């Protein structure tokens, strides 16, 4: 069923059971294109989603895995923006809060969008 829903290049990695509950996030039916676009209008957030897509075979990545040179409170802000727009799902593992892209959900509602993000390259200026 999962593959039938998302025939594109992005397929969710199957997850082991008994995971911690996801943090609050919008339901698939409540995803809004304008909100998603706004979340993806920031270069740092584009980079977060891009790298989550490229290295998605690894398990969910904690906030510090990206190596951004920003204060932790700034990162919290941007990850929350992505989660509240519905682009990523976050779960708490002990101290870490790990994230992954909601590939199936986004692909169903906005097919092809993640491919654009995956092929994005950060501006070099």
Partner DNA sequence: TGCTAAGTTCGAGAAAACTCGTACAAGGAG
Partner DNA sequence: CTCCTTGTACGAGTTTTCTCGAACTTAGCA
110 binds a second copy (CB under 8 A): yes
User: Do 101 and 52 form a contact (C-beta atoms < 8 A)?
Assistant: yes
32 binds DNA (CB under 7 A): no
The correct pick among 15, 42, 55, 58 for binding DNA (CB under 7 A) is 42
Least CB distance to DNA at residue 52 (A): 13
Stretch that binds DNA, among 12-20, 47-55, 78-86, 113-121 (CB under 7 A): 78-86
String of contacts with DNA for each residue 3-22, x by CB under 7 A: --------------------
The correct pick among 49, 79, 88, 103 for binding DNA (CB under 7 A) is 79
Which residues does 57 contact at the CB level (< 8 Å), separation at least 6? 13
């Amino acid at each position: 069923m999962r593959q039938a829903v998302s025939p594109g290049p992005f397929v969710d990695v199957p997850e082991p059971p008994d995971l911690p509950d996801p943090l609050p996030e919008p339901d698939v039916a409540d995803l809004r294109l304008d909100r998603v676009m706004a979340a993806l209008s920031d270069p740092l957030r584009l980079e977060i989603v891009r790298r989550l897509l490229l290295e998605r075979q690894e398990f969910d990545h904690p906030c510090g895995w990206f190596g951004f040179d920003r204060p932790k409170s700034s990162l919290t802000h941007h990850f929350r923006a992505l989660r509240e727009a519905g682009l990523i799902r976050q779960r708490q593992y002990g101290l870490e809060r790990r994230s992954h892209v909601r590939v199936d959900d986004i692909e169903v509602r906005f097919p092809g969008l993640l491919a654009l993000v995956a092929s994005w390259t950060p501006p070099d200026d």
